[in-house]
Structure 1
């Protein structure tokens, strides 16, 4: 394959013309070359994979690394340099055999049995947030008042965060995730949260409870591999993976349901359709569409393209999940779609660990929110909202609603 000089390569990322669709330039690029080199904002180049089958093939290939500290890692947004030591415990940075060992420790915490036991408490959290919505002023920002608090409280419940500390915990996470936070303040909040989680780990060692973090501490102690810094990293990984992504999906999913009243009414008439609705929303939005980026450790042949060792590769989930060879009429939001083979949660060994928890939260959120506030409506058209094109995970900054 002939390689164009960097100045002639397509640029990545590119702006959207519609908030609900990936940039049209990507689809055009996929038609010409589903595996192509692009230029990043840093001036570095990377490979972009946009086809569904090619994406799955690459993500299942062991000749890659997820180590984000490597210079070749295709970072799209500016980032603070992070060392291996600072990334300790972050599963998304790990490769086998280290990744295999730690994922095995955590994966049993997200079994169907565990989630069934947690479901009543998640429902209580959602109901409490809806209660506060109904008791508050109108209009209200659904993101601030509902989409962010629900997953934040759920992750607090999972990790065993003390009730009195939840406002402090929320303050740190909001500072980390807010686009208006300066780089300096974001780093400070990250460090403060790590200090807090370090104290929380110490508390679980001394006074174990029935929460996930206590169980992980016990597992590692019994295995003789307990490491305080590792536990902080695992906690951070669970927090970030289970907080911002779910919050974004709650907000975007609510907009989609508000914009599709007939399909929303079908969901309310038959709540058993919630899993099917959630799967289609996950496929349609694919909010973590660059989280599956990798660096090749050897030459990797995908289709008729050989990606050399040491190259950064971005697997664009949003385009793979809009591939007409994998999904009939992929540009349509179809809640009657019956397949679940999208890769919104990634694919291969790094497939999202908490995906079933996210599914459960989303199913309960949408059935509860719209059954309890059936006349919920946007106060401005969805196309006029401010969307997160400048963030790692796609979403929306505010969703003003009333009823």
Structure 2
């Protein structure tokens, strides 16, 4: 790898397989300046201990020296959620939705998640007919769950899947971003208007009630919160199920071992999260003052990217990090982040994944890849780590 490639996160070879690059950076310079798509230069954090520190250190801010809010109406409507702000705003916003994601409420969703999973498996093509596991299973399961939780018509899911892919795809979809963002904002505004006219027993109606009755959410915060729950509520779980299925199907021994011992499912899901993290990097931080990290001084007001995917393969933290261990007992990965921005939906993602894999292994034991593993390609962008498609087929070979 040449110096220019090693330091260029927009290089196609990096997106095809970032792990060798991250491994070299962890050894040669774990905190370093790199170039991202569009030519901007950011600081990249690659080691586990440094990543944990950066995720909890208030000097790594979500806003830096921005004392106001974005002037563009569309950007403002999509950037006032809890993942994009610091305390005390973050504390207030997170508290408003945390009641919907308690362990008890999530566990209460198990029967419905199981029902949705069963219906999706019932619709699988017959033996010998190839299909895309992402389209047929990994996407519709979490999107239907979050739609029902929020109270959103499931028939609209293909539209906001398209908008979501563009919005989180970064520079790869730069030309399409304005149109997708405007469409998403208009869609959410329509949802809010409909729920104000006809409230229901759902999270969306609950958020509106907080906004209208107690005046604790302003209109942009309400818009941004719905946007975040829609995007984060399905994108990460799509990748978790897709990436995990790929890890099982590219090594038949893993598939058969998990089939033979379903009790390994909880630790297997944690290992999927660690080994091929569905979120590659945490959202951008900005240093509020000079910060020394990993032996380097990051200047004030510098953009910082925390490599969760890299930290989860750190040799100094995980024994044999390049191996998939379905029974890995000690697995304090950072796939859901760390600190105050730790993923609120982590329990829901874990539950959906465990139900999904149990059903796949039990109902479709002959499932296998329909293409060579080398044909699998990853979606562009630095934020998420997920496959474009996962072509599979069932039945005897």
Partner residue in 1 for 2:69: none
1:236 and 2:223 correspond: no
Partner residue in 2 for 1:77: none
- How far is 1:263 from its partner? 2.6
- How far is 1:303 from its partner? 4.0
Aligned mates of 2:73, 2:100 — CA distance in 1: 28
**TM-score with structure 2 length normalisation?**
0.88
Partner residue in 2 for 1:64: 60
Within-5 A mapping of 1:3-402: 10-16=7-13, 22-67=18-63, 85-134=76-125, 138-162=129-153, 166-177=154-165, 183=174, 185-390=176-381, 392-402=383-393
Structure 1 unaligned segments of length 5 or more: list them: 1-5, 71-80
Q: Could you report, residue by residue, the CA deviation over 1:100-145 in whole angstroms, capped at 9, with x for unpaired residues?
A: 1101111221111110111111111111111111469821111112
Q: Could you report, residue by residue, the CA deviation over 1:206-246 in whole angstroms, capped at 9, with x for unpaired residues?
A: 33222122222234445332434322211110111122221
Secondary structure of the corresponding residue to residue 123 of structure 2: helix
Secondary structure of the corresponding residue to residue 306 of structure 1: strand
Q: 1:82 to 1:198 in 2, by over 3 A?
A: closer
Partner residue in 2 for 1:73: none
* Residues 14, 21 of structure 2: 8 Å contact kept: no
Secondary structure of the corresponding residue to residue 85 of structure 1: helix
* Residues 78, 220 of structure 2: 8 Å contact kept: no
Aligned mates of 1:170, 1:379 — CA distance in 2: 24
Q: 1:89 to 1:390 in 2, by over 3 A?
A: closer
Aligned mates of 1:99, 1:18 — CA distance in 2: 32
Aligned length: 384
* Residues 63, 297 of structure 1: 8 Å contact kept: yes
Structure 2 unaligned segments of length 5 or more: list them: 67-71
Aligned mates of 2:76, 2:21 — CA distance in 1: 39
Aligned mates of 2:127, 2:149 — CA distance in 1: 27
Aligned mates of 1:43, 1:124 — CA distance in 2: 46
Secondary structure of the corresponding residue to residue 339 of structure 1: coil
Aligned mates of 1:39, 1:224 — CA distance in 2: 42
Aligned mates of 2:73, 2:286 — CA distance in 1: 16
Q: 1:215 to 1:17 in 2, by over 3 A?
A: closer
Secondary structure of the corresponding residue to residue 238 of structure 2: helix
